[in-house]
Amino acid sequence: MPAKEQRTLVLVKPDGLQRGLMGAIISRLEQRGLKPVAMKLILIDTALARRHYAAHEGKAFFPGLVQFITSSPVVAMVWQGKGAVEVVRQLMGATDPLKSAPGTLRGDYGLDIGRNLVHGSDSPEAAEREVALFFSQKEIVDWPRSVEPWITEP
């Protein structure tokens, strides 16, 4: 991975998958210039959900969050690119879809904070931790993309 590039975890949550928005979400990430390096459809078990959302343990919404993320399959992905963490955060929009700008995933497709379609790591440190929760190093494919010079400067 080039030095200025980052990797970040993105989850298409159960509502995004159930609503048939997986393709739209992946398409928007690709159109922005990010490169997928890992992807799989999984059922998150309670143990993984609790580890993933450990920062929220003890909060009133934690049990519902765990119940929701384990209720249906998710698409877990690792995306790579210059400033990938921030790019994904901007593209997702505010956690509450009603406060998300048009043009963001949540602003275009969401209505409810509890059904906000997608998760993205909130910092480079969180991205590293979250990627390791969902993917082994063998599952991440570092591949050359011929269009790179047309997306970012060397």
**64 inside domain:** no
CB 73 within 8 A of CB 41: yes
**101 inside domain:** yes
**59 inside domain:** no
Dihedral pair phi/psi, residue 140, rounded to 5°: -95, 125
What pLDDT is stored for residue 90 in this prediction?
Answer: 98
What string of pLDDT tens digits covers the 154 residues of the chain?
Answer: 655 899 999 999 999 999 999 999 999 999 999 999 999 999 999 999 999 999 999 999 999 999 999 999 999 999 999 999 999 999 999 999 999 999 999 999 999 999 999 999 999 999 999 999 999 999 999 999 999 999 998 7
One DSSP character per residue, 109-132 reads H--BTTB--EEE-SSHHHHHHHHH
DSSP 144: -
**11 inside domain:** yes
**154 inside domain:** no
Where residue 132 sits, what CATH number does that domain have?
3.30.70.141
Active site residues: 119
31 backbone φψ class: left, alpha, beta (φ>0; ψ -120 to 50):
alpha
Contacting residues for 113 by C-beta, under 8 A, at least 6 apart: 95, 96, 97, 98
Question: Dihedral of CA 38/43/48/54: which sign?
Answer: positive
**147 inside domain:** no
How far is residue 27 CA from its own chain's centroid?
13
**28 inside domain:** yes
What pLDDT is stored for residue 1 in this prediction?
Answer: 64
Q: Number of folded domains in the chain?
A: 1
What pLDDT is stored for residue 154 in this prediction?
Answer: 79
Print the domain residue range for 122: 5-40+77-139
**68 inside domain:** no
